[in-house]
């Protein structure tokens, strides 16, 4: 049977098409506020965006900006987010189906195969049309590509689990290691899925891969991540060197009865693949020497490159000195009201509770209760069906929720919603929703509905249609708050806001800006659309850096005699 004729693959393709259609219908045709305009401009011109640089996003975005689609550059890169988001939805479905097939069989017999598919489809749709993920899918941001990496890694890990006793299964784990290194070029948070993968390998029985070998690769990953968190170099470099030496020793002393010769060099190859993956960051050093106009931090040296990777422009906050009451931060993540010292948290914040809404207005009791009950049931059914796999994905969920809350340590005066940092939390909550729906239908089949197939299928159809209510409303023209909030197809406010700023100043003016929303859109207009290139934009918040003042000196150098400043591209290219 051809791969596309298999029911699971066909449903995954249908989910991709449905999601991509919705994202294309609601995508912004131009720039949005915050980082989007900067990412579009740097992708189109191969520039270097703000720390930590996201070089792989720039390269992939550049490819999409060149596609002959008959639409603007901004629109194409926005659709890139939709494309990778739709792929993430498809892999979410395939992962949930395979996870349910690892469950212990019921004494009453094997449940119909469509039950697992319905559960997986319901969870994938809850994920596809969750608030933050949908936002990420319709604008030029790194989080859509990061979500795709998380979904693909989760899928490969469960495929590995199903074939773990075969020697060739180690190849899949090497692929995950390479993805982890490469995906840091999208967003550093992509690597937060790896601890869950390691837990899966550690707990799995009858596996060809040795846990210690993967641990050595994980130590090198950890040394890199810790180096970006400004840990002392002697610790991070020492950890990496120790892991490499142990990997060499493992390869040299291989040969016990339970060790497979094919995996002899796994640790060394894994370390090498991770290094190859993160080597995409060298693009920034190479490109910086060509002086692109958007060249943040100017990473022409290894020291400057490490400054970018360490995000020294955005100093980390201590986990042990809370910037706001812990209960407040929990409420901020959850998107609800928690009281602490007379302060209310999350009253207007977007958090977990705003993600899986399906009714038409606000966040109702059903919007809160139904998804929460389903993913808690998913945890229960997964632990009961296969606790080893459950521990793996539960680890990932906890790290991306409570772990990130403690690490990021948000203040009670953030300049914007920070829900996008918790995208991984929402993503794996949706995965457990899929398992909850599948487990619930399976329980009904075993208990009361074995002889009432119509009742069971009706319940399954209801749970699949539930997360689609906002989309069905949008398709039919019925008013729905969630569709309205996510439909940016006619939102040109950021574009004309920035266009009016440029058009309001005289020729060859110097325009001083301060933050993201009055700077990045201007960069887009000048560098992508070629509008008002005679205007010199000076970002005052960057003036305290050496690299920016040097760039300003170069940018404002006089043109050659008789040259129109608006047509002088020498400093751009």
Q: What is the pLDDT of residues 216-256, one digit of tens each?
A: 999 999 998 888 887 888 888 898 889 889 888 888 887 66
**Predicted pLDDT at 551:** 82
SS3 category, 343: strand
The bridge status of strand 536-539 relative to strand 510-513 is parallel
How much is the pLDDT for 233?
81
- 309 with 281: CB under 8 angstroms? yes
Q: How confident is the model at residue 477 (pLDDT cuts 50, 70, 90)?
A: confident
Q: Is the pLDDT of residue 293 over 70?
A: yes
The answer to whether residue 545 scores a pLDDT higher than 50 is: yes
CB 332 within 8 A of CB 408: no
pLDDT at 147: 94
Question: Of 296, 300, 292, 308, whose CA–CA distance to 45 is shortest?
Answer: 292
Query: Which residues, 6 or more positions from 194, have their beta carbon under 8 angstroms from its beta carbon?
Result: 153, 176, 180, 218, 221
- Answer with the residue of higher pLDDT: 481 or 79: 79
Q: Where residue 360 falls among pLDDT bands split at 50, 70, 90? A: confident
pTM above 0.85, yes or no: yes
The mean pLDDT of 315-341, rounded to a whole number, is 77
Give Cα 392 to chain centroid, integer Å.
19
Packing angle, helices 113-128 and 453-465, rounded to 10: 20
Res. 555: pLDDT tops 50: yes
Confidence of residue 414 (pLDDT cuts 50, 70, 90): confident
pLDDT, position 13: 94
Q: Phi and psi (nearest 5°) for 261? A: -60, -35
Ranges 63-72, 207-216, 453-462, most confident: 63-72
Between residues 450 and 11, the one the model is more confident about = 11
pLDDT score of 316: 76
Question: Is the preceding peptide bond at 52 cis, omega within 30 degrees of 0?
Answer: yes
Q: Where are the alpha helices (DSSP H) in 166-232?
A: 169-183, 194-203, 211-228
Q: How many whole angstroms separate alpha carbon 46 and alpha carbon 376?
A: 44
Distance of CA 5 to the CA centre of its chain: 30
Q: Highest-confidence range of 139-148, 251-260, 410-419, 504-513, by mean pLDDT?
A: 139-148
Q: Which contacts qualify for 337-343: CB closer than 8 Å, 24 or more apart? A: 343/412
What stretch of H or E contains 510?
Answer: strand 510-513
Portion of the chain with pLDDT greater than 90, in percent: 47
What pLDDT sits at residue 340?
A: 47
Question: How confident is the model at residue 570, as a pLDDT?
Answer: 44
On the question of pLDDT at 173 being above 60, the answer is yes
Q: Which two tokens stand for residue 45?
A: 């011109």
Determine phi and psi for 360, rounding to 5 degrees: -80, -20
What's the Cα-to-Cα distance from 387 to each of 120, 226, 393, rounded to whole Å? Answer: 19, 30, 10
Using the structure block, give the residue that is written with the tokens 């159809």: 461
Torsions phi, psi of 511, nearest 5? -115, 115
Three-class secondary structure of residue 243 per DSSP: helix
């Amino acid at each position: 049977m051809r791969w596309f004729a298999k029911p699971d693959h066909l449903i995954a393709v249908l989910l991709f098409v449905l999601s991509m259609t919705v994202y294309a219908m609601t995508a912004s045709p131009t720039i949005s506020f915050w980082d989007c305009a900067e990412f579009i401009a740097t992708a189109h011109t191969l520039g270097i965006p703000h720390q930590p640089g996201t070089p792989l996003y720039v390269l992939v975005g550049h490819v999409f900006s060149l596609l002959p689609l008959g639409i603007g550059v901004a629109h194409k890169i926005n659709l890139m987010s939709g494309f990778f988001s739709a792929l993430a939805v498809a892999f979410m479905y395939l992962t949930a189906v395979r996870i349910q097939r690892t469950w212990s069989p019921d004494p009453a017999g094997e449940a119909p195969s469509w039950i697992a598919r319905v559960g997986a489809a319901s969870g994938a749709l809850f994920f596809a049309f969750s608030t933050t993920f949908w936002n990420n899918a319709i604008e030029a941001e790194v989080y859509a590509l990061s979500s795709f990496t998380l979904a693909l890694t989760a899928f490969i890990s469960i495929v590995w689990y199903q074939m773990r006793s075969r020697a060739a299964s180690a190849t899949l784990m090497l692929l995950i290691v390479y993805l982890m290194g490469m995906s840091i070029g999208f967003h550093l948070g992509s690597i937060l899925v790896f601890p869950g993968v390691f837990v899966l390998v550690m707990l799995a029985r009858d596996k060809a891969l040795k846990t210690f070998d993967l641990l050595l690769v994980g130590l090198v990953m950890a040394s890199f991540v810790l180096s970006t968190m400004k840990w002392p170099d002697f610790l991070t470099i020492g950890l990496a060197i120790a892991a490499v030496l142990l990997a060499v020793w493992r390869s040299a002393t291989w040969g016990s009865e339970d060790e497979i010769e094919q995996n002899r060099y796994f640790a060394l190859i894994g370390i090498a693949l991770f290094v190859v993956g993160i080597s995409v960051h060298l693009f920034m050093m190479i490109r910086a020497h060509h002086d692109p106009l958007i060249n943040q931090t100017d990473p022409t040296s290894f020291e400057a490159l490490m400054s970018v990777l360490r995000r020294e422009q955005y100093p980390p906050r201590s986990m042990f000195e809370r910037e706001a009451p812990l209960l407040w931060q929990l409420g901020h993540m959850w998107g609800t009201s928690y009281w602490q010292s007379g302060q209310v948290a999350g009253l207007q914040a977007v958090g977990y509770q705003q993600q899986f809404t399906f009714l038409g207005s606000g966040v109702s009791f059903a919007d809160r209760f139904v998804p929460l009950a389903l993913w808690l049931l998913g945890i229960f059914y997964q632990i009961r069906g296969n606790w080893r796999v459950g521990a793996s994905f539960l680890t990932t969920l906890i790290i991306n929720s409570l772990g990130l809350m403690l690490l990021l340590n948000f203040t009670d005066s953030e300049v914007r919603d920070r829900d996008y940092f918790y995208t991984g939390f929402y993503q794996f909550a949706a995965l457990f929703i899929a398992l909850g729906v599948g487990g619930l239908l399976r329980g009904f089949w075993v208990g009361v509905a074995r002889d009432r197939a119509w009742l069971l299928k009706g319940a399954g159809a209801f749970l699949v249609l539930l997360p689609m209510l906002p989309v069905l409303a949008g398709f039919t023209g019925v008013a729905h708050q969630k569709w309205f909030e996510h439909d940016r197809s006619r939102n040109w406010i950021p574009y004309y806001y920035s266009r009016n700023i440029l058009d309001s100043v005289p020729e060859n003016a110097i325009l001083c800006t301060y933050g993201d929303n009055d700077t990045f859109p201007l960069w887009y207009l000048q560098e992508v659309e070629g509008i008002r290139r005679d205007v010199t934009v000076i970002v005052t918040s960057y003036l305290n850096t050496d690299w920016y003042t040097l760039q300003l000196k170069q940018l404002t150098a006089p043109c050659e005699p008789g040259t129109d400043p608006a047509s002088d591209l020498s400093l751009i290219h």
